[in-house]
Amino acid sequence: MKTMKRSRITLTEAAMLTPALVLLLAFLVVPFAMSIGLAFTNQPLLPGPIPTKFVGFRNFQRILGSIEFWHAFLNVLLFSAMVIPLQCGFALLSAILLNGQSKAKRFFQAVFFLPYITPMVVVCVVWSTLFQYPSGILNALFSALSFGLFEPVQWLHDPRTALPAITMLSAWQAYGFQMVIYMAGLQNISADLYEAAAIDGASGWSRFTKVTWPSLFETNVFILIITAIQALQLFTQVNILTQGGPQDATNTLVHYIYRSGFVIQKVGFASAGSLILFLLIVGVYALLSFLTRKNPVGENS
Amino acid sequence: MKKALFLALGLAVLALSGVPAQGKITVMFQATGAESDAFKTLFDRFTKDTGIKVEPMFIPHDTYFEKFSAAVASKRVADVMQLDAPFLANFVWNGYLSPLQGMIDQKILDDLTPSSVYQGTYPIDGRLYALGNNDSTVLLYGSRKLLKAAGIRIPTGIKDAWTKAEFNDALAKLAKQPGVKWPLDIFRAYGVKTEWATYAFQPIFESFGGKLIDPKSWKAKGALDSPESVAAATEIQSWVKKDWVVPASSGTNALFRDKDKAAIAWGGHWVWAEAYPVMKDDLVAMPLPNFGKGVKSPNGTWIWAITKSSRNPKAAAKFLEYLAKDKQLIKESPGTFPGMKSAAALTPIYTDPKLMKVAFDQSNVAVPRPVYPGYPVLTASFQVAFDNILSGADPKTELGKAAAAIDQDGADNDGYPPFGE
């Protein structure tokens, strides 16, 4: 009787899982498996008179031997190293400012979240006018703040400033997401801890370092991993604003793969690139999970 | 209710099954704004006049090749398709297009400008595969007042175009004119790695006597990195090095704005429509400079072809003929650059020597981008090299790298063997 009941539940569960599984299979697992296969062929984007053939590791050899790829690889790591602290720090700051506020909270929460739901294309158009040379708003601002000492910069078209400019824009656009998660994390911290800290006479700063920050450990791990994965896949901003230039200063792995597949029209080659990106993301995920495997404060906090 | 539902379902299945109704063609195209509206009214007129139904397949410009490749994979290629002229060789080599001779009225083919014939022809078999009633060019725009103030001769036609020395001299003088921030706008704002680089500057390589690829051997090594090509790239780079060129982050209106102005714009024929309302008679159109081997100008636009897989090629041919003869289309797309001799009469600005006649004259000296099946790789590699060169990299090294990438692709495709071999 009991076993029958259990199997019936599994049946219902299976029935409910099926639609999602079919979609995942059709649009995630199958294409992924196909791209592994294609990575070892010379498959073009447009089928032509030369039949697709197996080329062994040629695509991988060429990718790993190309300066453009390694440039894109380093750019992505550099971008992640810049954008994660900036974006998450900004998100945490706004979350703390909004935490506990009752009336203004909803309004500012919506305002801060606005860039995140604005399409990236729109954000890029707006920022490209901010970045205008020589008299765009950003240049004018820096120039005014420095009493005219600041030399206008071609933000997006100077190899030295292009990636930082993309970083600023990206952090501004997406920090609303991390902010919302931090707000949830902050609300989970028990008020008792703050009361105890207040009784002990802790200052605002030590309340943050001794109570808030340690309590946010789980949230931080989640945000770090999500942001890192997003950062490694940087593409849209770059494709719209700089196409990877100047001199490859903003080229990224996804942009490299995109150009290989849809501009140069070599799908096999692009698949090999995707596979390398996949391995990189898995590697970074594994590394971050390993480094953050233990809450340093422990359970007794 | 149920019956209606079944009927609707049946109709939907019928519609999806893709069986072509008698006298119906699918047309794959890309366009924006006024042009898009003009195409839609063209389809309506065509259906009204011929009884052939048109099923439009609008594809955004940026995903055109992705969608086309999906259509090929699912065997649902349109009867008529628009394609960007430099990619014609790639499409013909892949076997997607039907030659037009014999399908289209010879009178229409005779009416095409030399530039249009050039861009629609695959040189290996010498046959025409695509046509259009419009074309494009790039020329120099200047301000009459500024040129006069700097004491610079204004060329009136292709014959008295500026030489390399005169052009450099003009830029040097204009750079010193009050109000001029940069003497030359080459529209770097269009983007770093975009078709604009290959389109607008490939003819300069030709005017220097260089080529992007050898048209006989289909090898880039020895052409793209030849001394002539390196000289062309070095020349363009020198303008940037002298701080003469409007930087990429400064917008596309440097010629006709009030602040941070440019004096000369190296721009497409469409710039006229943007600049004229502001500058009026101060705007002067001039031919591109002659860098030694004569004035060479860009050409090419999205042209129309009949696909090999079309199940209704006769109706498709009728559509192309209709489009070529249609006068309304030209009238509705302001600023269209004529691709047919008879169309020039409909676009008065291209016949008036005071306006844009020099631009239309350039279609006699137009050089298409390399008609080569590996064009996608060629243009992508060239764009990277061009971006690096403008940013200060060594022209010979960069062009050599691009040539190697192009030739590697050629080797991967067995040298793009011609038909029947």
The shortest CB-CB distance from A157 to any of B94, B248, B393 is to B248
Higher per-residue confidence, B12 vs B122: B122
Share of chain A above pLDDT 70, in %: 94
* pLDDT score for A197: 87
Say yes or no: B335 and B387 in one domain: no
| Res. B307: pLDDT tops 50 | yes
Across the interface, whether the CB atoms of A134 and B250 are under 8 A apart is answered yes
The residue of chain B with its CA nearest to that of A241 is B191
Q: In this structure, is residue B257 part of a structural domain?
A: yes
Across the interface, whether the CB atoms of A46 and B250 are under 8 A apart is answered no
Comparing CB atoms, the residue among B65, B192, B376 nearest residue A245 is B192
Q: What is the pLDDT of residue B160?
A: 93
Judge whether B74 is closer than 8 Å to chain A, CB to CB.
no
B14 part of a folded domain:
no
pLDDT for residue A195: 87
> Which residues in chain B have Cβ-Cβ distances shorter than 8 Å to A157?
188, 192, 247-249
Indicate if B94 and B131 belong to the same structural domain. Answer: yes
For residue A34, which residues of chain B lie inside 8 Å, CB to CB?
none
Residues B80-93 pLDDT 10s: 999 999 999 999 99
Whether residues B260 and B332 fall in one domain: no
Give the residue with greater pLDDT, B216 vs A6. Answer: B216
Same domain, B167 and B263: yes
Are B254 and B223 within one domain?
yes
Q: Is B393 an interface residue toward A (CB < 8 Å)?
A: yes
Question: How confident is the model at residue A150, as a pLDDT?
Answer: 83
Structure confidence at residue A8 (pLDDT): 66
Task: Return the H-helix or E-strand segment holding A179.
Answer: helix A162-187
**B176 assigned to some structural domain:** yes
Tell me the C-alpha to C-alpha distance, in Å, between residue A154 and each of A128, A130, A133, A151, B182: 11, 11, 6, 10, 15
pLDDT of the residue at B268? 94
Query: Which of the four pLDDT bands, split at 50, 70 and 90, describes residue B194?
Result: confident
Q: List, as ranges, residues 254-283 from B with C-beta within 8 Å of A.
A: 259-260
Interface check for B72 against chain A (CB to CB < 8 A): the answer is yes
CB contact under 8 A, B191 and A243: yes
Looking at the predicted structure, is the pLDDT value of residue A87 above 70?
Answer: yes
Residues B39 and B162 in one domain: no
Inter-chain CB proximity B249 and A263 less than 8 Å:
no
Mean pLDDT of B197-224: 95
**Cβ neighbours of B356 (radius 10 Å):** 25
Please state the rounded mean pLDDT for residues A150-166: 88
Residue A297, pLDDT > 70, answer: no
pLDDT of residue B420: 40
Work out the average pLDDT over A178-192: 90
Those of residues 95-124 in B touching chain A at CB distance below 8 A are 95-96
Task: Name which of A134, A157, A247 is nearest B393 (Cβ-Cβ).
Answer: A247
Predicted confidence (pLDDT) at residue A278 exceeds the cutoff of 60: yes
Going by pLDDT thresholds of 50, 70 and 90, the confidence category of residue B154 is very high
On whether both B30 and B107 belong to a single domain, the answer is yes
Residues B313 and B397 in one domain: no
Cβ of B307 under 8 Å from any chain A Cβ?
no
Task: Give the model's pLDDT for residue B37.
Answer: 86
pLDDT(A299) > 70: no
Is the distance from CB of A154 to CB of B249 less than 8 angstroms?
Answer: yes
What pLDDT does A198 receive? 85
d(CA B202, CA B197) in angstroms, rounded, equals 8
Quote the pLDDT of residue B334: 65
Pick from A50-54, A219-223, A244-248, B232-236: least confident? A244-248
Question: Which residue among A45, A242, A244 sits closest to B69, beta carbon to beta carbon?
Answer: A45
| B2 in any annotated domain | no
Residue ranges per structural domain of chain A: 61-291
Buried b (16+ CB within 10 A) or exposed e, A22-60: eeeeeeeeeeeeebeebbbbbbbbbebeeeeeebeebbb
Q: In this structure, are B169 and B274 located in the same domain? A: yes
Residues of chain A with a CB closer than 8 angstroms to some CB in chain B: 42, 45-50, 68, 128, 131-136, 154-157, 159, 242-248, 259, 262-265
pLDDT digits (tens, 9 = 90+) for A122-156: 999 999 889 888 878 888 888 888 887 888 888 88
Contact B248 A48 (CB under 8 A): no
| Contact (CB<8Å) B387/A263 | no
Of A42, A133, A159, the CB nearest to B249: A133
Report the pLDDT value the prediction gives residue B22, as an integer from 0 to 100.
Answer: 57
Complex ipTM = 0.81
A205: exposed, middle or buried (Cβ count in 10 Å: 0-12, 13-18, 19+): exposed
Which residues on B lie below 8 Å from A125 (Cβ)? none
Residues of chain B with pLDDT > 70, as a percent, come to 94
State the pLDDT at residue B329. Answer: 82
Tell me the average pLDDT across A75-94. 94
Number of domains in chain B: 2
**Under an 8 A CB cutoff, do A263 and B380 touch?**
yes
CATH number at residue B60: 3.40.190.10
In this prediction, residues B240-257 reach a mean pLDDT of 90
User: Residue A301: is its pLDDT beyond 60?
Assistant: no
Closest residue to B94, CB basis, from A49, A157, A247: A49
Same domain as B379, residue B310:
no
B249 and B394: one domain? yes
Domain closes at, from B364, B381, B403: B364
Q: Cβ contact (<8 Å) for B65 and A265? A: yes
Tell me which chain A residue has its CA closest to the CA of residue B74.
Answer: A47
Query: What's the pLDDT at B398?
Result: 96
For B63-67, B209-213, B215-219, which range has the lowest pLDDT when averaged over its residues?
A: B63-67
Record: contact B248-A45, CB cut-off 8 A? no
Residues B357-369: what's their mean pLDDT? 91
Contact flag B376-A265 (C-beta cutoff 8 Å): yes
Superfamily designation of domain A61-291: MetI-like (1.10.3720.10)
Predicted confidence at residue B38, as pLDDT, reads 87
Q: Place B379 in a pLDDT band, splitting at 50, 70 and 90.
A: very high
Over residues B238-244, mean pLDDT? 95
Q: Are residues B226 and B169 in the same domain?
A: yes
The pLDDT assigned to A59 comes to 94
The answer to whether B412 contacts chain A (CB < 8 Å) is: yes
Give A91→chain B minimum CA distance, Å. Answer: 29
Q: What is the mean pLDDT of chain A?
A: 88
pLDDT tens digits, one per residue of B66-115: 888 888 888 889 999 999 999 999 999 999 999 999 899 999 999 999 88
B193 touches chain A (CB under 8 A): yes
More confidently predicted of B200 and B31: B200
User: What mean pLDDT is reported for chain B?
Assistant: 89
Total length of chain B: 421
- Measured distance CA(B363)–CA(B304) in Å, rounded: 19
pLDDT of the residue at B16:
45
Residue B314's domain spans which residues?
A: 22-136+300-364
CB contact under 8 A, B94 and A134: no
Query: Which chain A residue lies closest to B418 (C-alpha atoms)?
Result: A49
